Every structure is written in structure tokens, then in C-alpha cells.
Amino acid sequence: MKNIKGIIFCSIFALAAYFTCKCGFCQSINLNSLTLAIIAGMIIGNVFNKFIPAEFREGITFSAKRLLRLAIILYGFRITFQQIFAVGLQGFWADVIMLATTYLLGYYLGTRVFKLDKDLCMLTAIGSSVCGAAAVLGTDSMLKADSHKVSLAVSTVVLFGTISMFLYPFLAGLGIVPESSFGIYIGSTIHEVAQVVAAGSAVSPQVCDTSVIVKLTRVMMLVPYLFLLGLYLSKKSHTKRTKVPMPWFAILFVVMCGFNSLNLLPAAVKSGIIEFDVFLLTVAMFALGVETNFEKIKGLGLKPILLAGIMFIWLVVFGACTARFIV
């Protein structure tokens, strides 16, 4: 396999992070393996990047994308439909409110205030409002934007999503949003699924479960968005509508939740699957850290970063208000 060397490389560091976080000190400061893995990945990817063999690159990218999808699918073994129904319409409406307001704010400010390219504004806005890089790439599969615009949008998602991973556990301690609603807050506002898992697990297992349910509901909203975008583009170009890509990992996550709801597996087997899933998530987070290039982020220019930063502030502030007062 051409990916195997990169996967082994990521797995070695993920194992180190996984077992390091079992120690008493890490547990006392609530440092989980996902957070430690992305920190280690960013250090290695930026300080020691030139020492990483070229043949590792494909496996690192595979770990950051494909293994992450598998990990999210297996996350369904932690959640049941009974828990999903317990979250109820609150999580759904929080997703709808935050998605719509963030996207409209980003597109309006980008095109009217910052005078940025429409494709770049659309990519950046959808990355912040739905599900990060996956939403950017899904939208680009229909827009066919220039590659540098896609890179800009993905880089802002990585930058502010990573900040979110460390900010939200700190905010949890301030009590601005009650813990009963904090999972909804995280799931409806943080960019990437893996970042949601990292931030939620740093607060509590219950908050993590709720945040993932809310986040995956938000991911599924990419499907109707892409459908509407396809209709818009086909009407604009008078050509056949572009095929809409499906976020299959989100759909399979729901399937796993349904299977888990039947309670057919022994507790020991389920526990083993969950531990394996934690390891896969740790591998993916390390790979994401390695692929976070600070030089590329520096070279983005000010306007796209400002736009993404404003949307980030909106997600943090208005998201807190939504979780606390509206839903």
C-alpha cells in the first residue's frame, strides 16, 4: 500500500499521545490524546517538516481524511437514537440558526465590505458555517474554483477551528453557557468534526456525545445546501446540474447509531470498538496537525483571515447566545 508508511508514521505518534494522556498529570489537567496529538503534529509539521520523507505524505493525508471519516463512522457506537431524541429540536434549530446566519454574514461581508472574489467568499463562508474542509471541498466540486482559493478557505478553517479546540474548554469553565447546553454550543459552532470531538471530550464525555450529535446533524445539512447550489449554478449557466456529492460518512454514522440503539453487541466488544475509535481519532488529529502549515497561513493575506476571523467571533459570541437564550 502506498499509504502504509505515512499511516504507520502517524500511528506511532498517536500511540505516544494516547498512552501519555493516561498518566495522572494529563488527566488532572484534562489533556486528552486528541489535543496532544494535534499539538505534536503542528510542531513536527512546521519545525521538522523537511525531515519527513516524501513517501510519507500520501499516508499522512490519508490519515487526516479517510481515517478521520472511519473514526467518525465508528463514533456511532457511543450514541443511540434515544440520546439523539433526548437532544431534540434544540440542537436542530441551533444548527439551522448558526448555519444560516454565519453563511449570510460571511458572504455579505466578503463580497460587499472586503470586495473579495465571490467563489472565495462562498468557500470561506461554507467552511465556517457547515463542516469545515469537507464543506469547502464539497462546494468546490461544484464551483470548480481556482486551487489557491480552495487552499485559502481550508487554511482559515484549520486556523480558527484549531483555536476553537483550545478556547471552548476554557469557556466551559467560565459558565457563560450552562453545561447542559454546552454540547449544543460546541456542535453548532466549531468547524471540523474532529475539532468538535477534541473540544467536547476536553469538557466531559456527555458534552462530547451531545456535541457530535449536533455537529453531525449540521454536516448533513451540507446535502440540501449543495443541492440548492447545484440548482443555482445550473440556472446560472443553463447547463445540466452538477452531481451533488453525498457526505456518506455522516450517513453511515447515523446507521451505526441505529445499530448501537439495538444493543446487540456485548459491552466488552463495544468498549473495544470505542477504544479503537479513540486511537483512530488521535491518528487523524496528529495528521491534521502535520498538515497545518504556518507559512501558508502567513501568506494568506489579511482580508480572507479577517473575514474568517469575524465569522469565528460570530460563531463564538452569537453561538453562546443561541445556546443559552434561544434554544
pLDDT at 24: 82
Q: Any residues with CB less than 8 A from the CB of 162 and at least 6 apart, and which? A: 38, 42, 195, 292
Phi, psi of 219 (to 5 degrees): -60, -40
Whether the Cβ atoms of residue 115 and residue 174 lie closer than 8 Å to each other: no
Residues of the chain where predicted confidence (pLDDT) is lower than 70? 1, 29-30, 147, 237-247, 297, 299-300, 327
Grid coordinates representing 59 are 499516508
The pLDDT value recorded for residue 245 is 54
The reported pLDDT for the residue numbered 138 is 76
Total domains, the chain? 1
| Alpha carbon distance 263, 144 (integer Å) | 44
**Nearest CA-CA partner of 177 in 318, 1, 36:** 318
Measured distance CA(35)–CA(168) in Å, rounded: 12
- Cβ-contact 281, 68 below 8 angstroms: yes
Looking at residue 238, its pLDDT comes to: 56
Distance CA 281, CA 286 (A): 9
Cell 487554511, residue?
155
DSSP, res 132: T
* pTM of the shown model: 0.73
The parent domain of residue 14 ranges over 4-326
